[in-house]
């Protein structure tokens, strides 16, 4: 009996020690900056069409009938053995009326950073043609929007709701993908950048609390209670349009000293999202003493993915930005 008790006690101590050891590793891992490589170092495995949530679609805005749509993302996985990896969630552009996760620029970015040690994701979200659910307050505000912009404005709401759901899903599954949840970046081009800025700087309950489960059962699929952290934002020719709309509705400023560092690249002759909007965002950030990397792309129009600054590509500049402000280790 004494021997039996001794053996049980010994085994319990071993198991407890293992559990404590595992927990201590996990805690230190979350506070330890991940390692990335300056040059392409890893093969990339792509997992397609991962369902991260669901959303409602309608025949038209405020239609009483609806259908459920699966929201999907692609994951780009570096083939390394690290259990402490940073991540980037890329959001395609298209004016909230077009585009998809297979957009060439998003695929190129996802591969570029996955080859250097990031786990990257490219997401789909509901577009204007899907007529996603829109909150009552957002819908009422459309009367202040120029008629030609109303559809884009309304489509922005479900796009932000979906992108935040995608980020919560990634965070929830961080251990599965060996991601350090303290080092997740969000980024995109044009409408995707506006969405990334909205995700990174909005309040936790923005784009979800205004619609109840009674009206949208798919909210149950979006991991509402999952905490998340945005380590930095990559803004390629976007604006703070979503944050501006929120402030107009509830009079509350979204950009504050708690927001993540931002990288801004914007063409000085952009006719679609004028350069002044990038300067306005820069001013907001500077007034809050927030870290910013600002790159005016001289004489460039909208979407100049091939642009260079001081002989560096936009991907190289974004790499340097994330390394500097997240204090990543470079091999």
CATH number at residue 206: 3.40.50.1820
CA distance 87 to 181: 8
H helix or E strand, kind and range, residue 236: strand 232-236
pLDDT digits (tens, 9 = 90+) for 22-63: 333 344 477 899 999 999 999 999 999 999 999 999 999 999
CA distance 30 to 76: 21
Instruction: Kindly state whether residue 10 falls inside one of the protein's structural domains.
Output: no
H helix or E strand, kind and range, residue 317: helix 314-326
Question: Within 13 Å and on the Cβ side, how many CA atoms surround 76?
Answer: 27
CA distance 223 to 201: 19
Task: Work out the pLDDT band at 111, boundaries 50, 70, 90.
Answer: very high
Task: Look at residue 25 in the predicted model and tell me its pLDDT.
Answer: 33
Report the domain count for the chain: 1
Instruction: Kindly state whether residue 238 falls inside one of the protein's structural domains.
Output: yes
In sequence order, the 6+-apart residues with CB closer than 8 A to the CB of 149 are none
Instruction: Kindly state whether residue 26 falls inside one of the protein's structural domains.
Output: no
Task: Work out the pLDDT band at 241, boundaries 50, 70, 90.
Answer: very high
Instruction: Kindly state whether residue 13 falls inside one of the protein's structural domains.
Output: no
CA distance 115 to 66: 41
CA distance 224 to 242: 20
Instruction: Kindly state whether residue 57 falls inside one of the protein's structural domains.
Output: yes
pLDDT digits (tens, 9 = 90+) for 125-163: 999 999 999 999 999 999 999 999 999 999 999 999 999
Q: Which residue has tokens 């003493």?
A: 289
CA distance 48 to 155: 25
Paired strand residues for 264: 235, 294
Task: Work out the pLDDT band at 317, boundaries 50, 70, 90.
Answer: very high
Instruction: Kindly state whether residue 59 falls inside one of the protein's structural domains.
Output: yes
pLDDT digits (tens, 9 = 90+) for 157-215: 999 999 999 999 999 999 999 999 999 999 999 999 999 999 999 998 899 877 777 78
In sequence order, the 6+-apart residues with CB closer than 8 A to the CB of 4 are none
CA distances (Å), 201 to each of 171, 204, 262, 318, in order?
17, 9, 10, 19
pLDDT digits (tens, 9 = 90+) for 266-284: 999 999 999 999 999 999 9
Instruction: Kindly state whether residue 21 falls inside one of the protein's structural domains.
Output: no
Instruction: Kindly state whether residue 20 falls inside one of the protein's structural domains.
Output: no
CA distances (Å), 29 to each of 21, 82, 128, 178, 240, in order?
12, 11, 41, 10, 33
Domain assignment of residue 186, given as a range: 32-330
Contact 122, 73 (CB under 8 A): yes
Q: What's the mean per-residue pLDDT of the chain? A: 91
CA distance 35 to 302: 33
Name which of 82, 238, 42, 62 is nearest 158 in CA terms: 62
Which structure tokens are listed for 267?
């063409």
């Amino acid at each position: 009996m004494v021997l039996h008790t001794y053996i049980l006690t010994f085994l319990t101590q071993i198991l407890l020690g293992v559990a404590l050891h595992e927990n201590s590793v996990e805690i230190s891992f979350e506070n330890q900056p991940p390692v990335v490589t300056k040059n392409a170092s890893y093969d990339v495995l792509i997992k397609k069409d991962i369902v991260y949530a669901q959303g409602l679609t309608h025949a038209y805005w405020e239609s009483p009938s609806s259908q459920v749509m699966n929201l999907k993302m692609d994951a780009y996985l570096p083939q390394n053995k690290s259990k402490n990896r940073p991540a980037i969630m890329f959001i395609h552009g298209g004016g909230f009326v077009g585009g998809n996760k297979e957009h060439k620029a998003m695929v190129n970015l996802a591969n570029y950073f996955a080859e250097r040690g990031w786990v990257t994701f490219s997401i789909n979200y509901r577009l204007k043609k899907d007529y996603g659910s829109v909150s009552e307050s957002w819908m009422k505000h459309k009367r202040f929007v120029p008629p030609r912009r109303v559809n884009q404005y309304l489509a922005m709401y479900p796009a932000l709701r979906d992108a935040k759901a995608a980020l919560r899903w990634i965070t929830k599954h961080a251990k599965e993908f060996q991601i350090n949840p303290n080092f997740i970046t969000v980024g995109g081009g044009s409408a995707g950048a506006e969405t990334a800025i909205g995700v990174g700087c909005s309040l936790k309950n923005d784009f979800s609390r205004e619609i109840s489960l009674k009206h949208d059962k798919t909210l149950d699929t979006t991991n509402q209670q999952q905490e998340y952290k945005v380590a930095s934002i990559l803004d390629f020719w976007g604006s703070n349009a979503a944050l501006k709309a929120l402030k107009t509705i509830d009079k509350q400023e979204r950009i504050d000293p708690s927001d993540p560092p931002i990288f801004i690249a914007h063409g000085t002759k952009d006719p679609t999202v004028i350069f002044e909007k990038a300067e306005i965002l820069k001013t907001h950030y500077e007034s809050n003493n927030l870290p910013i990397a600002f790159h005016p792309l001289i004489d460039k129009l909208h979407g100049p993915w091939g642009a260079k600054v001081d002989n560096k590509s936009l991907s190289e500049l974004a790499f340097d930005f994330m390394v500097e402000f997240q204090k990543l280790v470079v091999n």
